[in-house]
Amino acid sequence: MTEKKILFDSALKGAGIALSKTPTEVIEVVKNSGLRGRGGAGFPTGLKWEIAAKSQGEHYIICNADEGEPGTFKDRLILSTVPLNVIEGIIIASHAVGAKQAYIYLRGEYNYFLPKIRKAIKKARPLMEKIELNLDIVVGQGAYICGEETAILNSIEGHRPEPRKRPPYPAEKGLYGSPTVVNNVETLAMVPLIFLGIFDPKKRLCSLSGDVEKPGVFEILEGKQIGKILEEAKPIGIPKAICFGASGGIMPYDPCMEITEENIKERGCFFGSGTIIIVNHTHSIVELCESIQKFFVHESCGYCMSCREGSKRMLEYIKRISAGKATMKDLNKLEELCNFVSVASFCALGRSMPLHILTALRHFREEFVRKCR
Amino acid sequence: MQITIDGKILEFHKGQTILDIARTNKIEIPTLCYHKMLKPEGRCRVCLVEANSKIVTACDTLAEDNMQVVTTSERIRRLRLEALNLIASTVPKETLRKENELTKTMRLVGFKKPTYKHNIVKDKDKSSAAIWKSMDECIVCGRCVQACSKMQTVNALSYMGRGYSTIVVGSENQPLKDTTCVSCGQCSLFCPTDAITEASDISKVEKALRLKSKIKVVQVAPSVRVSVGEFFGLEPGTIVTGQIVASLKKLGFDAVFDTNLSADLTIVEEAKEFVDRFKKGNLPMFTSCCPAWIDFCCEFYPEFINKLSNTKSPQMMLGALIKTYYAKRLGLKPSDIISVSIMPCTAKKREAKLKNINASNVKDIDYVLTTRELGQWLKSKKINPAKLLPAEFDCPLGESTGGGALFGVTGGVMEAALRTAYFYIKGEEMKDPKIEPIRGTKSLREFEVNIGKNKVKGAVAHTLERAREIIERIKKGESFDFVEVMACPGGCIGGGGQPKPVDWEAIEKRAKAIYSIDENKKIRLCHQNPDLKRVYETFLQKPGSKKAKALLHRKYPKRGKPQQQD
Ligand code: SF4
Ligand code: SF4
Ligand code: SF4
Ligand code: FES
């Protein structure tokens, strides 16, 4: 996989400009830029900062670098090519909300980046000193749930990585009960570009993999046709479906579909973390669901019953279908169970877990039905 | 602020959850992991309702102004059934046939039988002398872990694994006996199934009762008489003292003695110790009748061990008298007697097995049963105490005073001890033995009592969270003369071996009953107990005598929980 430099290297200039402004001005600029979270939920970044800044207590910034979504590796590319942009983002965010302590919560598997990140921190030290910011790196506990921002809080506090009830949102009551901004790597890396005047909210990074010759990170402009992107990545075989990571759902491949949040949402899917996995004609959707579901069974944190037990029972159903041992009644029960888990689970992990099955049943139902007795 | 639940417009105040509001207005929402005495964690997903067209859990969702809530609809019903289907599939079939909070919720929702296959979890832990844990029956509701880590700040339990293999284990996956566990049993009391229970001794006691050559005696703790009736449909706080005596006779015991008498004895010795220390220094003095608190102090605050009173608990004092004084009167060897106690408490099970706790050359207490075990046992023998004629405790260890009765409730030991200390210091009796400022349900109460020219500054704490708080304050420089600690909420009436499910209203009713036992006693001052006077005259000489010290007082380790025998 080529690790081409895909983002403009701000080289501390963005942060330099931002620190010459007042925190309120910085928040205003970020709000007006149209930047939204790139980790999943897509919450407006400036607004998040504003909520935190207005909440009482010490303030914390956390950079979520626990990139655990299968088929997602854009944060890895950012950290290896422009780590300084991320540090700048952290500095600007800290200045905006008044944080004196920030953390990078790094995925365990990415700890080989530590020297690179430390070097970047060293370069940024003068700016950090200017705002009396201390920045620590916490290496994650290797659990998918740590991508969930409240689970990160528990993990940093030394507790079992489990999600917390929201509200209160971390921006109001986060780490140690204090207002905390949790931003994803890509989000923070965009922040200095705003101050250099070169940020375009219509562009975002996307991790593309699956049945393609050239997987990698692509910068895509909203509205671009998926077929055009695939021309670059060179499909292997005949593309049949697009899978948006484990939690983004599965939909039929349509080369003319323009990539926009709305178009994807219309098909029941979710483009939150910018993940595209191309699935070709040789794969069975049932088997794809089985492997995704195995992932979830392994990654459910165990906090709430619905995700803990539901994930296991969902996999049992899919295995039975896959083995040709299920009846149509089983299929209906599976669907009912999926609907239960998607509304009854405690956190976003559980609630989005059934999406791959529900969308597969919507778009590829006959593949399931064919296997049922 | 206003909320609409099922079409009813209801007032509420900030911070109330949907469930709080529903319950205060008598709207039924089924729950399972939720417990009123704990913080809602939202783990079981049974309490689903629709709020502003979204599905949420009622127990942990804060109400918002103008929220529209629906608690009964076909959709909600189906979701709750699915939730219970998933939960019920995690436990063995026998659990679903028992009476417990899980089956109660199942009935409420109208759920019959799980459709998924049960997969067995083989983790069992019987290492502790007080608590058994069997994870196959666990539904991971989280109550035990919360009770242990928040209410008791002991952190002996934690979760291991993730997803469906999540189980509750001793901290750092150690057997419970090697953790900081203080045996309070609150985990077992809150457990909605029987995944955590007391270490059961019923079968051992039944076997012992069949030994023809032995004299079988049993003692009954102060708080058991106000709670065991609940197993037989009586209201919490129904006093069934005489009926318990009668039932125990029916079960085959030769003599039934009253722990209230040894509670009197504890007070006589402890008040003496307090007065001595009050004169000489080494204050504050901490009470020592709660073995879970003793374990806690030794484990977490070894620097305070020398502040613990060295008087034994009432259970061990009566055990000592049974195997020495009583044995001597009958001309028996201590080993000729089997001594059983009925306690509200799981920690007392471990206490009876400690090294250096015995006054005789054998175990002073052979077996300890909890209130729950007694209830179970009686039920299995089809004995209903409510239907029996009351009987009297046996001589020579059957008389007790109101002061001894108070041991069952938080603040009771303090109140009884100060009544007697008053007598020791002033040489005259208190006019009104009721010491109001000590009473109440607040988990930490502070007060001052005047005894002549002396002011005694005291504090009463229940739950170990509060014990920790008071110790931390003392460490920061605050001073107290006398501090009572009970590990369980409300004192022993909320003990880890009491009837399930526990709830605060029941605890309060039991407290009321305890106070009424005190008020209705002719003698309310422990040192006036006629049976005890005889024990001192013929056997112990006087409070604090050499013999009393040898039999009724104990030593503590330098640090760490006292060790068990075997
Ligand atoms: S008995 Fe008490 S200390 Fe031990 S695990 Fe249970 S709650 Fe914790
Ligand atoms: S052991 Fe009991 S109280 Fe603890 S989590 Fe399991 S079911 Fe709940
Ligand atoms: S408060 Fe009572 S029931 Fe609870 S551990 Fe202490 S002695 Fe036992
Ligand atoms: S009772 Fe509300 S989630 Fe368990």
**Domain containing A207 — which CATH number?**
3.10.20.600
CA quadruple B68, B72, B74, B77: dihedral sign: positive
Contact B140 A344 (CB under 8 A): no
Judged by a CB distance cut-off of 8 A, whether residue A315 touches chain B is no
Assess whether the region B1-116 and the region B203-552 belong to the same CATH fold: no
Beta bridge pairs of residue B258: B220
Q: Are residues A191 and A210 in the same domain?
A: no
With CA atoms as reference, the chain B residue closest to A164 would be: B41
> Are the CB atoms for B141 and B192 separated by under 8 Å?
yes
The b/e string for B152-168 (b: 16+ C-beta within 10 A; e otherwise) is bbbebbbbbebbbebbb
> Per-domain residue ranges for chain B?
1-116, 124-199, 203-552
- Ordered DSSP codes for B529-545: -HHHHHHIIIII-STT-
- The label of the residue with tokens 């402004």 reads A21
* Mean of the per-residue pLDDT values of chain A: 95
> Are the CB atoms for B441 and B490 separated by under 8 Å?
yes
- Per-residue model confidence (pLDDT) at position A39: 84
| Of A230, A258, A280, the domain-final residue | A280
Q: Are residues A141 and A177 in the same domain?
A: yes
- Per-residue model confidence (pLDDT) at position B281: 87
For B83, which of A299, A344, A346 is closest by C-beta distance?
A344
Q: Are residues A75 and A144 in the same domain?
A: yes
- Per-residue model confidence (pLDDT) at position A5: 67
CA distance A199 to A190: 7
Q: Where are the beta strands (DSSP E) in B171-270?
A: 196-198, 215-220, 255-258
Helices (H), B216-313: 241-251, 259-280, 291-300
Q: B190 alpha carbon to ligand 3 midpoint, in Å?
A: 15
CA quadruple A70, A72, A77, A82: dihedral sign: negative
> Are the CB atoms for B354 and B564 separated by under 8 Å?
yes
Instruction: Kindly provide the ipTM of the predicted complex, given to two decimals.
Output: 0.93
Q: Are residues A188 and A237 in the same domain?
A: no
Pocket test for ligand 4, best of B34, B71, B76 (most atoms within 8 A of CB): B34
pLDDT tens, position by position, A303-315? 999 999 999 999 9
- Per-residue model confidence (pLDDT) at position B565: 86
- Structure token digits, residue B8: 């009813």
pLDDT band at B452 (very low <50, low <70, confident <90, very high): confident
pLDDT tens, position by position, A142-177? 889 988 999 999 999 999 999 999 999 999 999 999
CA B565 to chain centre: 23
Q: Quick one: which atom of ligand 2 is closest to the CA of B157? A: 4
Tell me the mean pLDDT in the region B87-109.
97
Q: What angle do CA B196, B202, B208 make, to 5 degrees?
A: 150
Report the CATH number at residue A152.
Answer: 3.40.50.11540
Contact B164 A297 (CB under 8 A): yes
Helices (H), chain A: 13-19, 23-33, 45-54, 74-81, 83-97, 114-130, 149-156, 185-195, 226-233, 261-266, 285-299, 305-322, 328-344, 348-352, 355-363, 365-371
Contact A302 B159 (CB under 8 A): yes
> Are the CB atoms for B4 and B69 separated by under 8 Å?
yes
> Are the CB atoms for A349 and A327 separated by under 8 Å?
no
Smallest Cα distance from A330 to chain B, Å: 11
- Structure token digits, residue A322: 């896959």
Q: Where are the beta strands (DSSP E) in A101-225?
A: 101-106, 134-139, 180-184, 203-210, 216-221
pLDDT band at A40 (very low <50, low <70, confident <90, very high): confident
Tell me the mean pLDDT in the region A44-52.
97
CA distance B440 to B147: 22
CATH match for B203-552 among 3.40.50.170, 3.40.50.300, 3.40.50.920, 3.40.50.1780: 3.40.50.1780
Whether omega for the bond prior to residue A192 falls within 30 degrees of 0, making it cis, is: no
Q: Are residues A61 and A207 in the same domain?
A: no
- Structure token digits, residue B253: 């015991």
Q: Is the pLDDT of residue B351 over 60?
A: yes
Pocket test for ligand 3, best of B348, B463, B507 (most atoms within 8 A of CB): B348
**Residue B17 amino acid letter:** T
CA distance A274 to B64: 34
The CATH code of the domain at B1-116 is 3.10.20.740
A298 contact residues in B (CB cutoff 8 A): 163
Tell me the mean pLDDT in the region B430-438.
92
3-state class of B297 per DSSP? Answer: helix
CA distance A36 to A190: 10
pLDDT tens, position by position, B187-233? 999 999 999 999 999 999 999 999 999 999 999 999 999 999 999 99
CA distance B560 to B180: 9
Sort A138 into a burial class: Cβ within 10 Å, 0-12 / 13-18 / 19+: middle
- Give the full edge-to-edge strand order of the sheet including B48-51: B8-11, B2-5, B67-70, B48-51, B54-57
pLDDT band at A2 (very low <50, low <70, confident <90, very high): very low
Number of domains in chain A: 3
Tell me the mean pLDDT in the region A20-45.
94
Question: Which residue's C-alpha comes closest to atom 3 of ligand 4?
Answer: B42
pLDDT tens, position by position, A280-335? 999 999 999 999 999 999 999 999 999 999 999 999 999 999 999 999 999 999 99
Beta bridge pairs of residue B133: B125, B196
Contact A300 B163 (CB under 8 A): yes
Total residue count of chain A as it appears in this document:
373
pLDDT tens, position by position, A191-201? 999 999 999 99
Provide residues with CB under 6 Å of ligand 3. B 184, 290, 292-293, 344-345, 347-348, 486-488, 491-492, 495-496
- Per-residue model confidence (pLDDT) at position A3: 54
pLDDT tens, position by position, B362-386? 999 999 999 999 999 999 999 999 9
> Are the CB atoms for A191 and A138 separated by under 8 Å?
no
- Give the full edge-to-edge strand order of the sheet including A203-210: A216-221, A203-210, A275-280, A239-243, A250-252
Q: Are residues A298 and A264 in the same domain?
A: no
Name which CATH class applies to B124-199.
alpha beta
User: B47 CB under 6 A from ligand 4?
Assistant: yes
Task: Say how many CA atoms lie within 13 Å of B391 toward its Cβ.
Answer: 17
Report the CATH number at residue A340.
Answer: 1.20.1440.230
Contact B162 A300 (CB under 8 A): yes
pLDDT tens, position by position, B271-315? 999 999 999 989 999 999 999 999 999 999 999 999 999 999 999
Neighbours of A217 (CB within 10 A): 26
Tell me the mean pLDDT in the region B98-125.
95
Tell me the mean pLDDT in the region A44-71.
96
Contact B45 A306 (CB under 8 A): yes
When scoring B76, B138, B164 by the number of chain A Cβ atoms within 10 A, the one with the most, hence best to mutate, is B164
Q: Are residues A270 and A351 in the same domain?
A: no
pLDDT tens, position by position, B173-192? 999 999 999 999 999 999 99
Q: Quick one: which atom of ligand 3 is closest to the CA of B185? A: 5
CA distance B425 to B274: 10
CA distance B413 to B419: 10
Q: B187 alpha carbon to ligand 2 midpoint, in Å?
A: 8
For B42, which of A165, A297, A313 is closest by C-beta distance?
A165
> At A61, which helix (H) or strand (E)?
strand A60-65
Q: Are residues A120 and A51 in the same domain?
A: yes
- Per-residue model confidence (pLDDT) at position B2: 96
- Closest-lying ligand to the alpha carbon of B167? 2
3-state class of B132 per DSSP? Answer: strand
- The label of the residue with tokens 């993999």 reads A209
| Of A263, A280, A297, the domain-final residue | A280
The b/e string for B473-491 (b: 16+ C-beta within 10 A; e otherwise) is ebeeeeebbbbbbbbbbbb
What is the domain range of residue A60?
2-195
Q: Are residues A100 and A211 in the same domain?
A: no
- Per-residue model confidence (pLDDT) at position B8: 97
Task: Say how many CA atoms lie within 13 Å of B510 toward its Cβ.
Answer: 33
Judged by a CB distance cut-off of 8 A, whether residue A301 touches chain B is yes
Smallest Cα distance from A39 to chain B, Å: 23
Q: B500 alpha carbon to ligand 3 midpoint, in Å?
A: 16
Q: Are residues A18 and A61 in the same domain?
A: yes
Q: Is the pLDDT of residue B337 over 80?
A: yes
User: B309 CB under 6 A from ligand 1?
Assistant: no
Smallest Cα distance from B19 to chain A, Å: 16
Pocket test for ligand 4, best of B28, B29, B33 (most atoms within 8 A of CB): B33
With CA atoms as reference, the chain A residue closest to B55 would be: A343
User: B148 CB under 6 A from ligand 1?
Assistant: yes
